[in-house]
Structure 1
Amino acid sequence: MSPGQALAPLIDLIFPPRCPLCGAAIGSAAGLCVDCWNTLVIPGEPCCASCQRPFGDAMPEGGTCAPCLADPPRHGGIAAGTLYNDPSRKLVLAFKHGNRIALAPMMAGLMVPKLSFVDEDWVLVPVPLHRWRLWKRGYNQAAELARQIGKRTGARLAVDALVRRKATRSLGGLGKLARKRALSGAIAVHPGRKAVLKGTKVVLVDDVLTSGATSDACVSALKRAGAERVVIACFSRVLDEALDIA
């Protein structure tokens, strides 16, 4: 037992754990209260065979969604722990901008069931931050999630496999072409990690998947480096049209 584990009961006695969403008392600091757990939306079956977008009951098993038919993705699937709604947004903001790094085990715990195929043969690669943003924030939230996934799956962590060579503006509100231009040349594979990635199965880890522009740039860089397959794993995925279905 580590010193931290030994002191945990005393710390909980002095500072009772609270639900990070509503503030209610909970049994463990690494979770939510029952009511808040029930507000999270977990994507399920049936779903697109290519990107795991949830379908209505009318879609046959193994079907492909319209976006994937129109523009086949280069990734090997998307594993999302939750769909993006108000509770998941609050968790992401607390984790990313509120220094609530202690949320990482719980958030990664929701992602791992979607990664049942991942084992020690896979490599975990977090979406990179630009060095100035990393310096300002003090940590890369995607890397913290990747560390927790590695502990649960045995997959290897390559925290610096990807680098963000230039700072990019927020992609919100930009069209597909504008997002692509903003990310052009921004993300690349670290020269010293190409040997690790060649012929390897990769899990690209991030906290939120929105338009997919950043993950697409990462997937392209990993594929150019010789990665055999790249699966995208995120805590929350923005799919407003799927919330009612789920």
Structure 2
Amino acid sequence: MYSAFQTALRLVYPPRCTLCGTQVESEFGLCGPCWRDTPFISGLSCDACGVPLPGDDAGTPEFCDDCLTIARPWSKGCAALIYRDNGRNLVLALKHGDRHDIVRPAALWMANAARPLVDDQMIVAPVPLHWTRMIRRRFNQSALLARAVARKLDLSWCPDLLVRPKRTRPLDGLGRDARFETLQGMIEPHRRRRQYMMDRSVLLVDDVMTSGATLSAAAQACFRGGATDVRVVTLARAAKDA
């Protein structure tokens, strides 16, 4: 009965490409041209942030220029897409266009990228929003991604493991140093959630990494909450040559 219902539903509402709306074979997928034009990250990449690197993978940790010059408080990181073209379009559609349907394929891509970073006792947590921004936006896109990624990886997750008690000015237009200065100490472990990260590793989830200032503040908060290790995964990574 359920299978027949699904078949009928697909006839009335055929699956559409997440980006362009063209009819596709499976739900929450991309058509051939959109898949081709989406900048998925593959091959050699920075072990700390996931940005693509030139050369072949020799099986040893490699780092981009940013991660060689900036102390990253997390141990490993990755991203599914480069933040340009369709990668940028997907992030902005989710963040500002209320396109929650993007979460499902995005979480699959992120989970595939993050699988080598995972351990069985890990807890997944999103980068938090200040409550005033949450009210204005109505949802935290990082929390939506974190929940879906946790399900894909069969891990526990906590939507409010971290909090932002103070509102900060927007980071758009700020340089790298200004971003880090603005976010310093602005994210804290939730007082009533510390037990969930105590003596455990944390997988931090965000939609996009630019300078890494927000993830840095969040990772430091995890360690203050008792985490033993922090790793990060983002849907997209901004790259200088993107």
The question of a shared fold, defined as TM-score above 0.5 by the shorter chain, is answered with: yes
Taking the aligned partners of 1:8 and 1:184, their CA distance within structure 2 comes to 50
How far has the Cα of 1:131 moved from its partner? 1.3
1:7-26 map, 5 Å: 8-26=6-24
Return structure 1 stretches of 4+ with deviation > 4 angstroms. Answer: 5-8, 58-61
Contact persistence 1:19–1:31 (CA under 8 A): yes
How far has the Cα of 1:108 moved from its partner? 0.6
How far has the Cα of 1:23 moved from its partner? 2.1
Q: Return 5+ residue gaps in structure 1 as ranges.
A: none
Taking the aligned partners of 1:59 and 1:29, their CA distance within structure 2 comes to 33
Letter of the 2:28 counterpart: A
Cα root mean square deviation, aligned? 2.3
How far has the Cα of 1:72 moved from its partner? 3.2
Letter of the 2:122 counterpart: W
Task: Please name the residue that 2:72 is paired with.
Answer: 73
- After alignment, is 51-60 or 20-29 more displaced? 51-60
Task: Please name the residue that 2:27 is paired with.
Answer: 29
Task: Please name the residue that 2:168 is paired with.
Answer: 168
Taking the aligned partners of 2:31 and 2:11, their CA distance within structure 1 comes to 18
Contact persistence 1:119–1:153 (CA under 8 A): no
Inter-CA distance 127–7: structure 2 relative to 1 (3 Å threshold)? farther
Could you say what secondary structure the match of 1:114 adopts? helix
- Under a length normalisation based on structure 2, what TM-score does the superposition of the two structures give? 0.89
Contact persistence 1:130–1:163 (CA under 8 A): yes
1:239 aligns to 2:239 (yes or no) = yes
Q: Number of paired residues?
A: 240
Q: Return 5+ residue gaps in structure 2 as ranges.
A: none
Contact persistence 1:204–1:231 (CA under 8 A): yes
How far has the Cα of 1:38 moved from its partner? 1.2
- Under a length normalisation based on structure 1, what TM-score does the superposition of the two structures give? 0.88
Letter of the 1:98 counterpart: G
Contact persistence 2:47–2:78 (CA under 8 A): no
How far has the Cα of 1:237 moved from its partner? 0.6
1:132 aligns to 2:128 (yes or no) = no
Instruction: Give CA deviations for 1:5-35 in whole Å, capped at 9, x if unaligned.
Output: 8854444333333223222111233111111
Contact persistence 1:120–1:156 (CA under 8 A): no
